[in-house]
Structure 1
Amino acid sequence: MTESTTQAALGRQLMARLDEAALHSRPGPGVTRLFCSDEHRGVLELIADWMRQAGLTPELDASGNLVGRNARAMAGEKTLIMGSHQDTVVEGGKYDGMLGIALPLQALQALEIDGTELPYGVEVVAFGDEEGTRFQSTLIGSRALAGSFDRASLDACDADGVTLGDALEAFGGSPADIPQLARKPESVIGFVEVHIEQGPVLEQRDQAVGVVTALTGIERHRLNVIGKAGHAGTTPMKGRRDALVGAAEMVVEADKILNATENFVGVVGKLEVRPNAVNVIPAEVTFTLELRSPSAEVREKGRKEILETCQRLAQARGLELLIEPTYQAEAVACAEWLIEALENACQACHEPAERLFSGAGHDGLAMNDLTDIGMLFVRCKDGLSHHPNEAISVEDAERATRVLMRFLTDLRQHRKPAARLEA
Structure 2
Amino acid sequence: MLGVPPYSDTADGLYRAYLTPAYCAAQEAVAGWMAEAGMAVRRDPAANLVGRYEGGDPSAPILLIGSHLDSVRGAGRYDGPLGIMLGIEAVDALCRAGRRLPFAVEVIAFGDEEGSRFPAAMLSSRAVAGTLDRAALDIADADGVTLAAAGADIAHYLEAARPPGSVRAYFEAHIEQGPVLEAEGLAVGTVTGIAAQLRYRVTVSGTAGHAGTTAMDLRSDALAGAAEMICAIENLAQRDQSDLVATVGAIEVAPGAANVVPGRVDFSLDVRSGKGSRRDRVAAAILECCEDIARHRGLRLAYELLHDLPASPCDGRLMDLLDESVAAEGFPVRRLVSGAGHDAMIMASLAPTAMLFLRCAGGVSHNPAEQVDAADADIALRVIMRFLEKMADDATA
Q: TM-score range by the shorter chain?
A: over 0.9
Once the two structures are TM-superposed, the CA of residue 369 in structure 1 deviates from its matched residue by 0.6
Distance 2:209 2:246 in 1: 33
Given candidates 249, 255, 263, the residue that maps to 2:228 is 249
Q: Say whether 1:55 aligns with 2:31.
A: no
Matched letter for residue 370 of structure 1: L
1:22/1:395 CA distance change after superposition, 3 Å:
farther
Q: Residue deviations 1:26-76, cap 9 Å, x none?
A: 336542212222221111111111111122222222223112222459954
Q: Which residue of 2 aligns with 1:225?
A: 204
Q: Which residue of 1 aligns with 2:168?
A: 189
Q: Say whether 1:302 aligns with 2:265.
A: no
1:370/1:42 CA distance change after superposition, 3 Å:
same
Q: Is the 8 A contact 2:253 2:265 kept in 1?
A: yes
Q: Which residue of 2 aligns with 1:3?
A: none
Q: Say whether 1:147 aligns with 2:151.
A: no
Once the two structures are TM-superposed, the CA of residue 93 in structure 1 deviates from its matched residue by 0.8
Once the two structures are TM-superposed, the CA of residue 338 in structure 1 deviates from its matched residue by 0.7
Q: Which residue of 1 aligns with 2:181?
A: 202
Once the two structures are TM-superposed, the CA of residue 229 in structure 1 deviates from its matched residue by 1.6
Structure 2: runs of 5+ lacking an equivalent: none
Q: Which residue of 2 aligns with 1:124?
A: 107
Q: Is the 8 A contact 2:9 2:20 kept in 1?
A: no
Q: Matched residues, percent identical?
A: 42
Distance 1:344 1:185 in 2: 28
Once the two structures are TM-superposed, the CA of residue 22 in structure 1 deviates from its matched residue by 4.9
Q: Residue deviations 1:296-352, cap 9 Å, x none?
A: 111001000111111111122222211100111111111111111112222232232
Q: Residue deviations 1:130-172, cap 9 Å, x none?
A: 122222422211111111113333234432233xxx23x2443
Distance 2:314 2:165 in 1: 18
1:21/1:389 CA distance change after superposition, 3 Å:
closer
Given candidates 306, 318, 325, the residue that maps to 1:345 is 325
SS in 1 for 2:289: helix
Q: Is the 8 A contact 2:188 2:359 kept in 1?
A: yes
1:382/1:131 CA distance change after superposition, 3 Å:
same
1:280/1:161 CA distance change after superposition, 3 Å:
farther
Q: Is the 8 A contact 2:54 2:103 kept in 1?
A: no
Question: Which range is displaced more, 293-302 or 150-159?
Answer: 150-159
Distance 1:285 1:391 in 2: 36
Question: How many equivalent residue pairs?
Answer: 395
SS in 2 for 1:220: strand
Distance 2:381 2:318 in 1: 17
SS in 2 for 1:99: helix
Matches within 5 A, 1:18-417: 19-23=1-5, 24-27=7-10, 30-72=13-55, 75-162=58-145, 166-167=146-147, 169-261=148-240, 262-415=242-395
Matched letter for residue 286 of structure 2: I
Q: Residue deviations 1:345-369, cap 9 Å, x none?
A: 2223223232221121111111111
Distance 2:164 2:120 in 1: 25
Distance 2:284 2:66 in 1: 36
Q: Which runs of 4+ in 1 moved over 6 A?
A: none
Q: Which residue of 2 aligns with 1:4?
A: none
Distance 1:120 1:94 in 2: 31
User: Could you state the TM-score of these two structures normalised by the residue count of structure 1?
Assistant: 0.88
Aligned-CA RMSD value: 2.0
Once the two structures are TM-superposed, the CA of residue 264 in structure 1 deviates from its matched residue by 0.7
Q: Is the 8 A contact 1:329 1:365 kept in 2?
A: no
SS in 1 for 2:109: strand
Once the two structures are TM-superposed, the CA of residue 416 in structure 1 deviates from its matched residue by 11
Distance 1:173 1:55 in 2: 28
1:276/1:73 CA distance change after superposition, 3 Å:
farther
